[in-house]
Structure formats: structure tokens, C-alpha cells
Amino acid sequence: MKKLKGIGLLLLSNILIIATLSITFTILSQVLLPFFGIDIRGVVSGSNLLFAAFFGFGGAFLSLAMSKFLAKRMVGASPITQPRTQAEVLVFETIEKISERLKVKMPEVYIYESPDPNAFATGPSRNNSMVAVSTGLLQNLNQNEIRAVLAHEMGHVYNGDMFTTTVLAGLMNTFVYLIANFIYRLLAERSEGMALMAYFVIQMALSFLAMIPISWWSRRREFSADKFAANTVGKEHMISALQSIDRWVNQVQYQYQSEDALATMKISGQTRSFMQMFSTHPPIEARVDALKQL
């Protein structure tokens, strides 16, 4: 029944968004723009919007459906079904207890080799998800800090962050395709080659710009997951976990700067700069400040 609710919500949200876009587009193109002397009815039709939505949301939801499969392959994660070490027991039992408390199906639990203290959650729904932790997380954080990070990831699962991010990505994909296609149609009458070149350039540029609202949402959800972890295991443990990760980042960044300046590109989401608009995580100091104010 829970699976049906998750799938139903996903499909309903997708249908409502496409319907809203279709209605909005129809009113805009058939009523508002002609009223101001702008007639695009011969250039763009409702079928273009539906076609754009089909590819935009279709690609986004296909990515969501494959998210666990792709994540496992990308990091080379190994499943924890029968914990063998003390660290694996800690990870498995923490996720199990939080799942029982939230009354959600326990996510698949994985561990992967990586020196950086990290963890992530993904999956199509809160009852079909996975949580993976790096060996670096287990080696550099204490037990309470590890519990806090795991609670943070379970916050993502419980809040349905994967789904809402997918909806936003689908929306951005739709507008990117629609605008690029609109420009192509305008230029195609003059030169097919120029129109095709402009289409690809505009689509790439808009796809890059579309990362700004998606990244903004991602940063907002990090604060929500931090708050969830604070309410679950205590904010002092979440703060301590972030500070431990920050110390590791600063240490590694210093080593990179001493050995290979280009390697610092591996560190992201740590400083306040223009590129932070494209970062999926806010600076650690901002997250610590937000936790302290709870």
C-alpha cells in the first residue's frame, strides 16, 4: 500500500505539473501575448509544450528510477546485509532504528571505499531508497557523529528530497527544451545550419543556468536534513560531525595546495563565492550557524 501511495503521488504530481504548464502556456500564447501584439501561435503550439514535458520529465524520472543502480556502480558500493565489523553494526542498526521510528521501509545500506568522510541517500521513494557511507566517514568521525550523519541522510529519505528534486529537474528540462526549440523555429526559416547550431548552444547554456535553481533547492534541503538530524540524535552531534568534516577538508585542502594546486578543485561547497550558486551544499559554517540557532 505504501508503494502505491509513493507511485501515486509521483504520477499525480507529474500530471498536475504538466497540466498546469499546458493551461498556463495556452492562456499565455492564445490570450495574453496576442493582447499585447505578440503572436506566437504559428510558431509554438501546445503540442510542443507536451513534447518538451515528455522529454523533460521523462528524462528526470528515468534518472530517478535508475538512481540506486547508477549510484552503486559509480562508487563501487558493497551492500551491508549481515554486519561483520563494529562500524558496520553501528551503521546498520542506526538506519534500522530510525526507519522503525519513522515507519518507513529500511533503505538498502552500502559502504564504499573513499578517503573523504561522506554519505548519501538516493532512490525513487522513501520506501525504495538506499543509504551509502564512505570508509572515510567511519575512520574520521566518532560514533555519535556517524549517527548524526546517518540521521541527516534519513532526513533526505523521509522528506522525499529525491522526488522533489526530480520534479524540479523535470520542470527545468522542459523549459530548456521548449525555449531552445522556440529559438530554433525562429531561425530555421533563415538558415537551417545556423538554427541547429543556435539550438545546441542555447540548450547547453540554459541547462547550465538551470542548475542555479536546482542547486538552490539542494542547499535548502541540506538545512532541512540537518534539522532532522538535530531533532533525531541531538544538534550537538550534528554540529560536531560537520566540524569534524570541515577539519578534514581543511587538512586535505592544505595538502593539495602543497602538492598539487589543481587538486583543490575536488573541494566544493566550502566557500562563499560566485560558484557557490552551482554548489549542491551550503558552506559548513552556514550549516553550523543554522544548527546553533535551533
Greater confidence (5 vs 220) lies with: 220
Give the three-state DSSP class for 123.
strand
- Domain positions in the chain: 69-158
Positive or negative, the Cα torsion across 50, 159, 103, 65? positive
Q: Tell whether the model's pLDDT for residue 14 goes beyond 90.
A: no
Cα distance between residue 92 and residue 69, in whole Å: 20
Mean per-residue pLDDT, 136-160 = 95
Mean per-residue pLDDT, 270-282 = 67
- pLDDT for res 261: 39
Q: Judge whether 153 counts as a catalytic residue.
A: yes
What integer best gives the mean pLDDT of the chain?
A: 79
Question: Which of the residue ranges 129-133, 205-209, 252-256 would you say has the lowest mean pLDDT?
Answer: 252-256
- pLDDT for res 29: 57
The amino acid that residue 229 corresponds to is A
Catalytic residue from among 88, 93, 100, 153: 153
Pick the CATH number of 69-158 from 3.30.450.40, 3.40.50.150, 3.30.2010.10, 1.10.1670.10: 3.30.2010.10
CA distances 98 to 92, 95, 133, 224, 228, Å, are: 10, 5, 16, 16, 11
Max avg pLDDT among 65-74, 134-143, 252-261:
134-143
Q: Tell whether the model's pLDDT for residue 262 goes beyond 90.
A: no
Mean per-residue pLDDT, 170-189 = 80
Which residues of the chain form beta strands (DSSP E)? Answer: 78-79, 108-112, 119-125, 128-134
Give the three-state DSSP class for 81.
coil
Mean per-residue pLDDT, 28-34 = 66
Positive or negative, the Cα torsion across 158, 163, 165, 171? negative
> Cell for 40?
506566437
- pLDDT for res 99: 96
Mean per-residue pLDDT, 209-233 = 90
- pLDDT for res 197: 83
- pLDDT for res 240: 96
Number of neighbouring beta carbons within 10 Å of residue 217 = 17
Q: How do residues 78-88 score in pLDDT, each as one tens digit? A: 999 889 899 99
Mean per-residue pLDDT, 154-178 = 86
Q: Tell whether the model's pLDDT for residue 260 goes beyond 80.
A: no
Q: What is the percentage of the chain residues whose pLDDT exceeds 90?
A: 35
